[in-house]
Structure 1
Amino acid sequence: MTKDRVTAFIDAVLAIVMTILVLELKAPAQVSWAGFWALRDQFVAYAISFFWIGTMWVGMHNSWHKVRTISKTTPWLAIVLLFFSSLFPYVTKIVADNFMNVGAQALYGVVVLAVTVANLFLYRSVLGKARRTQLLSWDILVKVIALLLTPLYPPIMAIVTLLAGVFWVWESLRGATA
């Protein structure tokens, strides 16, 4: 299998996941500023998930151009990554409806962690021990700590996911993680 086929599949599935995210947004009970404000947790959860998946996609775009060949395990690692990524609309909806709930945020955190770990293994399969894989290891550690702190402050997982996204955007713009 060529890398182009794997990346095209990843692109397609992530595009579908991102589209489903927006379909899960509720319409306001009343179309007014107050109606939209009442749905702020919905929009925050949506935005965090959408942009975090988007930063993952941009990171792949910026890194995979160096890949010449892929191993037989790479497509399977991509499937695992996409499996966990496909859970984002589900867990985002749960968090959006229960933003301050420990269980909702913990479930979201487990999915975020699973995607990050799968991403790490996928990158290791195609790039070896590049800077990106080292940074992903630190990213996982920070997310594990956030998950452990979720019972004390439930939104910590969403906040750390947002900050991780901002970090990856910054790294991408620096061009340091290719």
Structure 2
Amino acid sequence: MSETEEGRGGVNRVEAFSDGVIAIIITIMVLEMKAPEEHGLEHLWAMWPIFIAYVLSYAYVAIYWVNHHRLFAHAARISNALLWANIALLFTLSLVPFATAYLGEQHFSHDATLVYMCVMMLPSFAYVWLQSVIRRTGRQDAAAQDYHQHSLRKGMVASAIYASGIALTFVSPWAGLACAALVAILWFLPKGPIDALFGG
């Protein structure tokens, strides 16, 4: 298939589709949080691993939605590469509800944490592909270049923390999850600290 020549209208359509898929992913995650049938707060308290896994995953999906929205502000047209990179990102994010449910149900066991960390790292690879496409085919002004440089810095640091988290999971599941939480905090931080770290 040849690349399309759709402009901002096509970009908006892809972004709207992505918003819908991400909304479904969040809905699936919350539906996995089944209320206990037994009476008593102790049965509700017993669900804390499921709730913590949900909160962490919700933060991740929210971060990807925010960054996806900001990234598409710099897209100028639709190409096959952009479409497939975006589909790849959505596919990797669609695995998050399963990994989240597995992590919570298994009470942060070693194997469940390892699966969770690996699943969490997959969207980062897909996002790098998507960003490289938009950086090449999208806006080329100074603001766009500044955004890409800043985002790529954070992406490199986040990937390194993810990789460390996967390795640390073999030592302690909580150490691996701490790295996952650190990545979320990293993306919530303003521009300054990471850019200062890399001299940007």
- Give TM-score, length-normalised by structure 1: 0.89
Match of 2:157 in 1: 138
* Bigger relative contact order, structure 1 or 2 (CA pairs below 8 A, ≥6 apart): 1
Aligned pairs for 1:93-112 (under 5 A) are 93-112=101-120
- Give 2:187's match in structure 1, choosing from 155, 168, 173: 168
Q: Aligned residue for 1:115?
A: 123
CA deviation profile, 1:123-160 (whole Å, cap 9, x unmatched): 12113553212321221111011101101011333322
Distance 2:156 2:12 in 1: 26
Aligned counterparts of 1:136 and 1:104: Cα–Cα separation in 2: 24
Task: Read off the aligned partner of 1:170 and give its amino acid letter.
Answer: L
Partner AA of 1:26 in structure 2: K
Greater Rg, structure 1 or structure 2?
A: 2
| Partner AA of 2:15 in structure 1 | T
Residue 104 to residue 33, structure 1, CA distance change in 2 (3 Å): same
Q: Which runs of 5+ in 1 are unaligned?
A: none
Poorly superposed stretches of 4+, deviation over 4 Å: none
1:8-47 equivalences in 2 (<5 Å):
8-47=16-55
In the alignment, residue 136 of structure 1 is paired with which amino acid? G
Cα offset, 1:30, TM superposition: 2.9
- Is the contact made by 2:103 and 2:113 (CA closer than 8 Å) also made in structure 1? yes
Aligned length: 175
2:74 to 62, 66, 70: 66
Aligned-pair CA distance for 1:116: 1.1
Q: Which residue of 2 aligns with 1:88?
A: 96
Aligned match for 1:159, one of 173, 178, 188: 178
Seen in structure 2, the aligned counterparts of structure 1 residues 144 and 68 have a Cα distance that, compared at 3 Å, is same
Q: Is the 8 A contact 2:49 2:108 kept in 1?
A: no
* Matched residue type, 1:88: V
CA–CA distance in structure 2, aligned partners of residues 31 and 170 of structure 1:
41
Q: Which runs of 5+ in 2 are unaligned?
A: 1-5, 137-147, 196-200
Question: Is this contact kept in 1: 2:102–2:112, CA < 8 A?
Answer: yes
CA contact (8 A) 1:105 1:150 kept: yes
Task: Indicate conservation of the 8 Å contact 2:164/2:179, yes or no.
Answer: no
- Cα distance in 1, alignment partners of residues 89 and 151 from structure 2: 16
The letter for the 2-side match of 1:67 is: A
1:56 and 1:172 map into 2 onto residues whose CA distance is 16
Q: CA RMSD in A?
A: 2.1
The whole-number CA distance in structure 1 between the counterparts of 2:98 and 2:110 is: 16
Identity %: 26
TM-aligned CA distance change 1:160 to 1:29, over 3 Å: farther
User: Would the alpha carbon gap of residues 49 and 31 (structure 1) be closer, same or farther in structure 2, given more than 3 Å must change?
Assistant: farther
2:61 to 53, 56, 62: 53
1:7 Cα deviation after fit: 1.0
